[in-house]
């Protein structure tokens, strides 16, 4: 193996030119920081996603990592020499929501072992990152829709820069993040800057960077999410070896969350372009605990998650789908403007209710800003409908019942000798009096009449001066057309 002094003096990423420099300064070649490691299956692993926050929520997790060749050097004869290789690390992350718009984060890597040009290296801390997120635009209830956030950070140089596992001085930066949730799919984009300490090492100057990242997540069920993300950096000062200063890495992870908020996460990463911190590949596995899963925000603390809560900002009850039960919808049924009891009413809105009207109004508890449809019926021939919206006060719904005939009668009246009968009178006695014809027309010049009638059993009674009364009982069903032929006998 090439000696440590040669490799470090000529340090570069693959294909970086061999510019000599000062060996007294190093930098962080780990190239990996997790974002908030929490119980949200929609979150990418390293990119910031501006989801909903809830005061006092917190999360803590640990991620074991194996990284192959996050940093290599090139000797004068063109041979590539791993400078940081076979890196085993434990990445610790903790976050706490101090306000519904502010989250605080701490990230601390512990390097368990690695290989350098001079052989195995022992354990040690990496740089501690202090950061967080300011939520500029909060997603909708249930964590859906668009979110926008800003995440500043500062890296404290607690790592070993001589082993290229820490910065030589303070580093800082910030990330603007945007995210959109569309049913099972979540898209996230990050862009920001990282201000690095100056380094004069080989052809590396510690140039400041523009950081970029995109991610897509799929959550087929509430407890499982799969995310793929691409992250990388563009230096504001070009490297002397073209194509080596833009490290990009692709990361595929899966996350499972149980009902308690405990979670496990695992995945793998692969370098897409050469550059400092873009490992050939990484293997990742970890877990932790978070107080809220992605669909389980309960803003009003009523035990109904926001995604299922029709009133997420006001504590309510389950039968009202999370809305307040202090508003009343009072329902009555009327016929021809007069209160009519005994009608069956079905109320459909956020919930469904059925009842029979009485001499007083039916009263049900409803939530504010809810729409209701009332359907009422009495027997087979009286029906009514009404749609109304409850705002922020009690409301009366009056359902007007209307005669609803469903059959047709063709009536013909003659004398037994076939003559037209004058001054014919007829009426009905029905099992359901509300099914009797509402309006009975007079007979035409041929002794005929056509009119609607309700379904059910009816008795027609026909008489005329000088003739005996005629009675007939019959039944009609929906859409029937019945002919009733009456022959009157003289007295």
- Has residue 482 got a pLDDT over 80? yes
> Percentage helix, strand, coil, to 5, in the chain?
5, 55, 45
Of 24-28, 66-70, 259-263, 384-388, which range is least confident?
Answer: 24-28
Distance of CA 488 to the CA centre of its chain: 74
Looking at residue 158, its pLDDT comes to 94
The residue that leads in pLDDT, 6 or 445, is 445
Average pLDDT of the chain is 86
Q: Assign 52 a pLDDT band (cuts: 50, 70, 90).
A: confident
* Other C-beta atoms lying within 10 Å of the C-beta of residue 355: 14
Largest CA distance in the chain: 137
Q: What angle do CA 466, 470, 471 make, to 5 degrees?
A: 160
Q: Measured between alpha carbons, how far is 14 from 8 in angstroms, rounded to an integer?
A: 14
Looking at residue 244, its pLDDT comes to 54
Looking at residue 54, its pLDDT comes to 85
Q: Measured between alpha carbons, how far is 412 from 244 in angstroms, rounded to an integer?
A: 102
pLDDT digit string, tens, across residues 8-51: 333 333 333 223 334 447 788 898 999 989 999 999 999 999 98
Looking at residue 16, its pLDDT comes to 33
Q: Measured between alpha carbons, how far is 364 from 317 in angstroms, rounded to an integer?
A: 14
Looking at residue 27, its pLDDT comes to 82
Q: Measured between alpha carbons, how far is 304 from 311 in angstroms, rounded to an integer?
A: 10
Q: What is the DSSP letter of 7?
A: H
pLDDT digit string, tens, across residues 304-361: 776 677 777 777 777 777 776 678 899 999 999 899 999 999 999 988 899 999 888 8
CA distances from 418 to 446, 463, 469, 491 (A): 11, 16, 17, 16
Q: Measured between alpha carbons, how far is 136 from 196 in angstroms, rounded to an integer?
A: 26
Nearest to 344 by CA among 396, 394, 380: 380
Map out the domains of the chain with their CATH numbers. 4-290 (2.40.160.40), 311-403 (2.60.40.1120), 407-488 (2.60.40.1120)
Looking at residue 243, its pLDDT comes to 46
pTM value surpassing 0.75: no
pLDDT digit string, tens, across residues 63-109: 999 999 988 776 667 677 788 899 999 999 999 999 989 999 999 99
* Sign of the CA dihedral with 115 first, then 121, 124, and 130 last: negative
Q: Measured between alpha carbons, how far is 19 from 29 in angstroms, rounded to an integer?
A: 18
Pairing type for strands 456-463 and 425-430 reads: antiparallel
Nearest to 248 by CA among 47, 11, 12: 47
Pairing type for strands 481-488 and 407-415 reads: parallel
Q: Assign 409 a pLDDT band (cuts: 50, 70, 90).
A: very high
Q: Assign 423 a pLDDT band (cuts: 50, 70, 90).
A: very high
DSSP collapsed to 3 states, 332-368: EEEECCEECCCCEEEEECCCEEEEECCCCCEEEEECC
Looking at residue 8, its pLDDT comes to 35
Distance of CA 149 to the CA centre of its chain: 19
pLDDT digit string, tens, across residues 162-201: 888 988 899 999 999 999 988 789 999 999 999 988 776 6
Q: What is the DSSP string of 402-438?
A: EE---EEEEEEEEETTS---SS-EEEEEESSGGGS-S
Written as six digits, the tokens of 463 are 């008489």
Using the CB atoms, write b or e for 85-120: b if 16+ within 10 Å: bebebbbbbbbbbeeeeebbbebbbebeebbbbeee
Of 134-143, 147-156, 209-218, which range is least confident?
Answer: 134-143
């Amino acid at each position: 193996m090439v000696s440590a002094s040669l490799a470090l003096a000529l340090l570069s990423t693959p294909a970086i030119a061999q510019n000599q420099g000062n060996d007294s300064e190093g930098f962080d070649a780990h190239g990996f920081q997790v974002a908030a490691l929490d119980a949200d299956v929609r979150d990418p692993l390293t990119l910031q996603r501006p989801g909903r926050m809830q005061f006092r929520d917190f999360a803590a997790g640990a991620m074991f990592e194996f990284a192959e060749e996050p940093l290599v050097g090139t000797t004068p004869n063109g041979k590539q020499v791993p400078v940081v290789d076979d890196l085993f690390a434990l990445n610790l992350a903790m976050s706490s929501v101090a306000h519904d718009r502010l989250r605080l984060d701490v990230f601390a890597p512990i390097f368990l072992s690695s290989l350098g040009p001079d052989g195995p290296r022992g354990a040690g801390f990496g740089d501690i990152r202090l950061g967080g997120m300011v939520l500029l635009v909060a997603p909708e209830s249930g964590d859906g829709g668009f979110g926008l956030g800003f995440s500043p950070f500062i890296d404290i140089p607690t790592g070993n820069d001589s082993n290229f596992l820490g910065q030589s001085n303070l580093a800082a930066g910030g990330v603007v993040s945007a995210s959109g949730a569309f049913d099972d799919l979540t898209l996230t984009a990050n862009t920001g800057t990282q201000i690095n300490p100056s380094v004069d090492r080989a052809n590396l100057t510690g140039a400041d960077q523009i950081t970029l990242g995109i991610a897509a997540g799929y959550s087929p069920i509430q407890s499982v999410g799969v995310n793929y993300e691409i992250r990388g950096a563009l230096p504001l000062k070009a490297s002397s070896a073209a194509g080596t200063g833009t490290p990009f890495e692709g990361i595929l992870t899966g996350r499972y969350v149980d009902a308690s908020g405990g979670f496990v996460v695992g995945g793998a990463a692969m370098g897409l372009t050469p550059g400092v911190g873009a490992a050939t590949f990484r293997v990742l596995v970890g877990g932790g605990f978070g107080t809220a899963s992605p669909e389980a925000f309960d803003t009003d603390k009523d035990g109904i998650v926001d995604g299922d809560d029709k009133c997420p900002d006001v504590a309510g009850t389950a039968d009202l789908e999370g809305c307040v039960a202090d508003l009343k919808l009072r329902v009555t049924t009327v016929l021809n403007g007069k209160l009519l009891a005994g009608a069956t009413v079905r109320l459909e809105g956020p919930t469904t209710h059925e009842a029979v009207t009485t001499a007083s109004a039916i009263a049900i508890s409803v939530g504010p800003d809810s729409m209701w449809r009332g359907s009422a019926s009495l027997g087979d021939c009286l029906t009514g409908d009404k749609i109304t919206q409850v705002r922020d006060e009690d409301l009366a719904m009056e359902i007007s019942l209307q005669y609803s005939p469903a059959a047709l009668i063709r009536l013909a009246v003659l004398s037994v000798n076939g003559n037209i009968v004058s001054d014919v009178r007829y009426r009905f006695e029905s099992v359901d009096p509300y099914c009797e014809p509402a309006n009975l027309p007079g007979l035409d010049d041929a002794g005929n009449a056509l009119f609607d009638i309700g379904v059910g059993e009816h008795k027609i009674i026909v008489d005329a001066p000088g003739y005996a009364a005629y009675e007939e009982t019959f039944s009609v069903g929906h859409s029937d057309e019945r002919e009733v032929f009456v022959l009157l006998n003289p007295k």
